[in-house]
Amino acid sequence: MIEHAITPNLVFDVSHMFAGGLVLISFLMLYQDRLYALLNVFALQAVALALAVAWQAYAQDAPHLYVTAGIALVFKALVIPVALHRMVARLGIHRQVETVVSIGPTMLAGIALVALSLVVMLKATPAADALAREDLAFALSVVLLGLLMMVTRRNAVSQVVGFMSLENGLILAATGAKGMPLVVEISVAFSVLIAFIVIGIFLFRIRERFDTVDVDAFDRFRGGRA
């Protein structure tokens, strides 16, 4: 590793700040009740992820992580949010984010998941260095908050955003754990992009067939056919 002009404490503090910022933005996503605002906050989370990965690239002297940061910035902060904005406008989707439960209980559940992540990960990795342990704990929090969004939202587009946020947590974990090959990172990024394209095609097809992307409407339709 090359000699840096920064101290280990500064590396830890900045990494901690970016990882904590990702968790905070996940809560902001859970709080949003407008679809366009949710997409904008998701883009902000992708920017924070790109900064976190770029900082890890510098701290670990791992140039290939700059590629991961660039992919996150271009695709997740620009291409995917813009594509989702256009998809929402073209499909004429209702722009209010409809939830299974209200925002208050959802936020409390999110706080409980973050506490669970910290307890589980810090106890499961006693031999790892402090930076890797906290990065993994924050990454697991982002993953669980993404899952929470997927199960508490009725609109298919907001569930797609939850899925993408979950994948942001996996990238944070991979870069914090060190040693992930570049080819794996690129494969994961393109897999997510292809998944997004397939999801987009399905959304158009579902909208044409059912005239809605509300998952509750699908359940009602299925119940009517049973």
Query: Model confidence over 66-79: pLDDT tens digits?
Result: 888 888 888 888 98
pTM: 0.79
**Residues of the chain falling short of pLDDT 50:** 1-2, 226
> Position of tokens 């998941």?
113
3-class SS string, 148-187: HHHHHECEHHHHHHHHHHHHHHHHHHHHHHCCCCHHHHHH
Task: Report which of 156, 159, 160, 180 is spatially closest to residue 170, judged by C-alpha positions.
Answer: 180
Residue 34 has what pLDDT?
A: 87
Q: Can you tell me the distance from the alpha carbon of 30 to that of 95, in angstroms, rounded to the nearest whole number? A: 15
Q: Which amino acid is at 30?
A: L
Query: Model confidence over 67-118: pLDDT tens digits?
Result: 888 888 888 889 888 888 887 887 776 667 777 788 889 999 999 999 999 8
> Position of tokens 């119940």?
223
